[in-house]
Structure 1
Amino acid sequence: MRLKNSVALVTGANRGLGRHFAAQLVQRGAKVYAAARRPETVDLPGVIAVRLDITDPESVAHAAKLADDVTVLVNNAGTSLGAHLLDGDLDEIRREMETHYFGTLAVTRAFAPVLERNGGGAVLNVLSVLSWVHPGPFGAYSAAKAAEWAQSNALRDLLAPKGITVSALHVGFMDTDMAASVPADQKSDPAVVARLALDGVEACRPEIVADEFSRTVKAGLATALQG
């Protein structure tokens, strides 16, 4: 699909990758709703700031009612709390799943009828290389992202008859606040990742693998586990 003259809503658009998505969509000629829990923190020119907490059903419903002309949904909002599966705070582990799985699902369910009424469109889910590989220290986040990957694949089948494509973005560490502690040489430029992802949406690609680390991990998915 063409992003020029589209109408996009980006969740978590006040910083990091989401901010790059919103800015680049404006550059590509889209009308952009930049959604955040605190819309006053959205500082991009040319966007419409929208209050949206993806874990709050009333907030989600209000956003879908307000942005009723959307044709592109970018599910970018997320969190990384670092809770360990064995001894971490269960509430924090649940919050990872509530945000990445249930929150993303809630927003997609709310906006799917909007996209369909507007003639179809596209959904982009921001996943992670940790959708595929699950190191112990990142267990809670990895489990939530793996669930979101499964959700993306299932929704792709369900939304295709409605004229809505679903693209899943896989990427490793990026140079954002969430990965502030990661060495710079291990991080991708989020502006480049956003560009690759939006190119993938325009090309209707079901899966977008944005960096070499993610490509390497994907290539090894069929490798047997070593005991």
Structure 2
Amino acid sequence: MSVDIKDKIALVTGANRGIGASIVESFFAAGAKKIYAAVRQLDSAKELTEKYGDKLVPVHLDLEKPETIQELAKTAADVQVVVNNAGVLIPATPLADDAEQNLQQELTINTFGLLRVAKVMTPIIESNGGGAFVQLNSVASIKNFLGLTTYSASKAATYSITQGLREELSDKGIAVLSVHPGPIDTNMAATGGMTDIAEPTSVVSEGIVAALKAGDFHLFPDSMAKDFGQAFHSYAKEIIES
């Protein structure tokens, strides 16, 4: 299902920096009509507001507080495209003392956050004539990285849920895109110790615009991700996308 961002109204979670801010820029460059920038602190979207004026609407969202997701839906009632980008990475190996605690927080934000955003926003997208739901997953959703074990586990769960959303939303006129970046130049990459191989955020944001227009389900945007995608291709096509 092809979705052109031109003239669309979008919601981007975690929009104040990194990949989220880049998505905002790429969407406006592609002709988006309006974007809701969902952030924990409204002041953090000040730079985007100054740049885009009334076309950029900051809205409060804290994925650890489900009530803010419900409030978000009341404000962003005209949305056609949702990009669930907000997430958290806490380095941990499987036997680390804080692994269980870290996994709990990552599941709350990354996994339950996805479920709650999708639950609330799907009826809105459908009521506005259909559109798209984009989930930022990771190459870590496909392969566990030892130092990022709990993060990998939470992203494996979000990837599985994204597959379920694709099947459930297809009859509602909503395309679903699963995005699997490798190391991208963000604070998250710095936390994971991967800045030396990180690529610009624009490879993800521009890739999303192109993948939505092409009607793709998977996007592997950067160099490392493309290697994953090439190896994963036949399984994805024959098993997941069949």
TM-score of the two chains, using structure 2 as the length reference: 0.87
**Pairing partner for 1:84 from 86, 93, 99:** 93
Percent of residue pairs identical:
35
CA displacement at 1:183 relative to structure 2: 4.0
CA contact (8 A) 2:220 2:228 kept: no
Runs of 4+ in 1 over 6 A off after TM superposition: none
2:174 alignment partner in structure 1: 164
Question: Relative to structure 2, which stretch is displaced further, 161-170 or 207-216?
Answer: 207-216
**Pairing partner for 2:31 from 24, 29, 32:** 29
Superposition map of 1:34-183 within 5 A? 34-42=37-45, 43-44=47-48, 45-46=51-52, 47-89=56-98, 90-180=100-190, 181-183=193-195
Give deviations 1:91-144, integer Å, cap 9, x for gaps. 221111111111011101100000000011101111111111112211100011
CA displacement at 1:216 relative to structure 2: 1.9
CA contact (8 A) 1:132 1:218 kept: no
Q: Residue 122 of structure 1: SS of its match in structure 2?
A: strand
CA separation in 2, counterparts of 1:49 and 1:198? 21
Question: Relative to structure 2, which stretch is displaced further, 210-219 or 189-198?
Answer: 210-219
Q: Residue 61 of structure 1: SS of its match in structure 2?
A: helix
Q: What is the root-mean-square deviation of aligned Cα atoms in Å?
A: 1.6
CA separation in 2, counterparts of 1:118 and 1:102? 25
Give deviations 1:37-58, integer Å, cap 9, x for gaps. 1111012122110101123111
Higher relative contact order (CA closer than 8 Å, sequence separation 6+): 2
Structure 2: gaps of 5 or more residues? 236-242
CA separation in 2, counterparts of 1:204 and 1:55? 31
CA contact (8 A) 2:61 2:68 kept: yes
Question: Relative to structure 2, which stretch is displaced further, 189-198 or 9-18?
Answer: 189-198
**Pairing partner for 1:19 from 14, 18, 21:** 21
CA contact (8 A) 2:30 2:209 kept: no
CA separation in 1, counterparts of 2:86 and 2:60? 12
Give deviations 1:185-213, integer Å, cap 9, x for gaps. x1111112210112111222111111231
CA displacement at 1:2 relative to structure 2: 1.6
CA contact (8 A) 1:85 1:93 kept: no
CA separation in 1, counterparts of 2:213 and 2:97? 40
TM-score of the two chains, using structure 1 as the length reference: 0.93
Give deviations 1:137-188, integer Å, cap 9, x for gaps. 111000111111111111100001000010001110011111124243x111
| Number of residue equivalences | 222
